[in-house]
Amino acid sequence: MSPLVYAIDDDPLTTSSLAALLGLEADLEVATFTQLSELRAAVAGRAPDAVIAEVTLAGSDGIDLLQELAAEDPDLAWLVVTSQSDPDATALALSRVGPLHLCHKPFDPRDLLPKLRAVLERRALSRELGVARAALEQQNQALRASRAQVERTAAELEHTSTELATATERLVAAEQLAAVARVLSGISHEITSQLALVGYAEALRSRVAGDEELVELCDVIISAQKRLVAMVDQVREFVTEPHRAGGRLRREPADVVAVVDEALGILRYDRDVRARNLVKSYRARPLAALHREKFAQVVINLVSNAVLATQPGDSIEIELDSDPDQGALVLTVSDQGVGMPPGVLARLGEPFFTTRGDRGSGLGVGICMQIVEEHGGALTFWSQEGVGTQARVRLPLLEEAHGATQRDPIGGPA
């Protein structure tokens, strides 16, 4: 489409001369006006590509007019015309628009046409630049949308990968448990049979009834035999029914202090335990519904873990307290040993996860957690490398004993 040029001047002779000059350019479409109202009506009907205006128009300023039109069309091409015989108007126009937008009348084709072509070419380039910018913005929007989609896909893949890794770990653990279950099914009977031989300690006990020390040792052996048989059963249950609901234990009212002391009494014959300083701090003597042997197993396991994390001569604290308002007792086993990093702490209780190498099965903590949960409680851990570890057992108090729980401190260094 040919560029449309509007020209306005109060003098009809000037507009005629300009129309004749521009009419020589075959690719230009020209319309001239002597009245401002006519020009505005034409602009409203069809916007021009370029406007040529006399600086001094009747009732208006040509430059102000051009600025008004350029506000509606920033790419508008325009030229200002002054009389060559009017140096004041020329000076004013030069100061406001510069020489590239200024032409003189009478018109010189060598001056007017190059300047008009220049402003029209600038308009065309500006329009092309606008189109290119719009296309670039569309591309940028598409790129941002694609990037967002890639990020969403990456997040979904990461989530799927995490779920897959978790499922794989669970599958491996399940396979390991199944393998242990198959092995235990073959050897548990033999282990139980061999442990039955320890029952001869009962016969020995009757023969040494007059020796209190030997009687005590026999009692320890008998208790250990029962505990080991129970542990074999517990491991078998753990690997064959790892997700079964709790509450199947036969429990009875028990003095928690007595059960803890019983477990510590078994441990005092352990050489590594004797090398540590067990410090008991009983702030209450609560009653709870317990399976005595299995709860003692929890105490033994937690203290044994503390022994492995400490050095000979270090202290291990066993604290017992009750919270009648919450209907709970709290047993805490604390050490100031090597501690555990967050990654290890988070995996406590996972089947076969152990930091002891060949010395550990990776079942102890998981079994303890299961026992505590079957008692209606919770086993939690806090640990920090170089600071130590704290294992906390929280169990419900025996309901009828809530109001009668003793608060007198008892016990002392073991």
- Cα separation, 323 vs 303, whole angstroms: 23
Backbone angles phi, psi at 2, to 5 degrees: -70, 140
pTM of the model: 0.46
Q: Which CATH number fits domain 4-107: 3.30.390.30, 1.10.10.10, 3.40.50.2300, 3.40.50.720?
A: 3.40.50.2300
Confidence of residue 407 (pLDDT cuts 50, 70, 90): very low
Q: Which of 281, 333, 340 is nearest to 307 (CA)?
A: 333
pLDDT of res. 236: 62
- Which residue ranges does the chain devote to CATH 3.40.50.2300? 4-107
Q: Are 22 and 6 in contact (CB under 8 A)?
A: no
Which residues, including other chains, have CB under 8 Å from residue 137's CB and lie 6 or more apart?
none
Helix (H) or strand (E) holding 320: strand 315-323
Q: Which residue has the higher pLDDT, 171 or 298?
A: 298
Portion of the chain with pLDDT greater than 90, in percent = 53
Residue 287 pLDDT exceeds 60: yes
Closest CA to 260 of 299, 209, 286: 299
116 contacts 79 by C-beta, under 8 angstroms:
yes
Amino acid residing at 322: S
Task: Return the CATH fold of 245-404.
Answer: Heat Shock Protein 90 (3.30.565)
Q: What angle do CA 123, 126, 130 make, to 5 degrees?
A: 140
Q: Residues 158-186: what's their mean pLDDT?
A: 73
Of these ranges, 30-44, 247-261, 400-414, the one predicted with the greatest mean pLDDT is 30-44
Query: Which ranges in the chain are annotated with CATH 3.30.565.10?
Result: 245-404
Q: What are phi and psi of 109, to 5 degrees?
A: -55, -35
Digit-coded pLDDT (tens) for 58-82: 878 999 999 999 999 999 999 999 9
- 362 backbone dihedrals φ, ψ, rounded to 5°: 80, 15
* pLDDT at res. 316: 94
* pLDDT class of 213 with cuts at 50, 70, 90: confident
pLDDT of residue 405: 40
Q: Is the pLDDT of residue 362 over 60?
A: no
pLDDT at 141 over 60: yes
* Cβ-contact 391, 381 below 8 angstroms: yes
Check if the beta carbon of residue 336 is closer than 8 Å to that of residue 310: yes
The CA–CA distances, whole Å, from 281 to 273, 407, 414 equal 17, 12, 10
Q: Give yes or no for residue 328 having a pLDDT over 90.
A: yes
Highest mean pLDDT among 114-118, 170-174, 215-219: 114-118
Instruction: Report d(CA 34, CA 37) in Å as an integer.
Output: 9
Backbone φ and ψ of 80, nearest 5°:
-110, 140
Q: What is the structure's pLDDT at 409? A: 37
